[in-house]
Amino acid sequence: MNKSSANFSLIDFETNSVLAETQWIADRGGVVQYESVRGCPFRCEFCDYPYLMGNKTFRMKSADQIFEDWRELYERGARHVDALDSLFTVPKKRATRLAELLISSGLAQGLTGACYARATELADAEFVSLLQRAGCRYVFLGIESGSQLILNNMRKVTKVADNAKAIRNCNSVGLYASSGILVGFPGETEETIAETKAFLGEQSSPSVHVFVWIPDFTEGTPVPIMQEDRVARFGIRGKGSQGAYTKVVWGKSVDFHLRTEWSHSWMTQERALEHALDIGRLARAGHIWGEDFSFAPYRTMLKHPSILAARMAYEHQAEFAIGMKYAYDAYIRGSPIAQVVQRTEACMSKAQLELLV
Ligand code: SF4
Does the beta carbon of 40 lie inside 6 Å of ligand 1? yes
* From 86, 90, 211, mutation site for ligand 1 pocket: most ligand atoms within 8 A of C-beta: 86
Cα 283 to ligand 1 centroid, rounded to whole Å: 25
- Kindly give the residue spans of alpha helices, DSSP state H, lying in the chain: 22-27, 63-75, 92-105, 119-122, 125-133, 148-153, 160-173, 190-202, 228-234, 269-285, 296-301, 317-333, 337-348
For the cut 70, the answer to whether the pLDDT of residue 353 exceeds it is no
* From 48, 87, 153, mutation site for ligand 1 pocket: most ligand atoms within 8 A of C-beta: 87
pLDDT at 345: 58
- Looking at the chain, the whole-number percentage of residues with pLDDT higher than 70 is 68
More confident residue, 112 or 152: 152
Atom 2 of ligand 1: nearest residue by CA position: 86
For 207-239, write each residue's pLDDT tens digit. Answer: 777 888 989 888 888 999 999 999 999 999 998
For 268-313, write each residue's pLDDT tens digit. Answer: 998 998 898 788 777 656 666 554 434 444 444 343 323 233 323 3
Mean pLDDT for 304-326 is 40
Mean pLDDT for 157-163 is 97
Q: Which residues contact 140 (CB under 8 A, 6 or more apart)?
A: 114, 115, 116, 117, 177, 178, 180, 209
CA of 41, closest atom in ligand 1: 8
CA distance 126 to 250: 41
For the cut 70, the answer to whether the pLDDT of residue 260 exceeds it is yes
pLDDT at 167: 95
Q: Find residue 268's DSSP bridge partners.
A: 263
Superfamily (CATH) of domain 3-299: tm_1862 like domain (3.80.30.20)
Does the beta carbon of 44 lie inside 6 Å of ligand 1? yes
Q: Is this prediction's pTM over 0.85?
A: no
CA of 144, closest atom in ligand 1: 1
Coil/strand/helix, residue 203: coil
Identity at 309, one-letter amino acid code: A
All CATH 3.80.30.20 domain ranges of the chain, comma separated, are 3-299
Q: How far is CA 45 from the centre of its chain?
A: 16
Mean pLDDT for 28-35 is 77
CA of 90, closest atom in ligand 1: 3
CA distance 233 to 227: 10
Cα 40 to ligand 1 centroid, rounded to whole Å: 6
Confidence of residue 86 (pLDDT cuts 50, 70, 90): confident
pLDDT at 276: 85
Cα 76 to ligand 1 centroid, rounded to whole Å: 32
More confident residue, 247 or 320: 247
| 56 to 62, 86, 112: CA distances (angstroms) | 19, 13, 30
Residue 4's CB is within 10 A of a number of other CB atoms, namely 5
Q: Which residues contact 286 (CB under 8 A, 6 or more apart)?
A: none
pLDDT at 54: 63
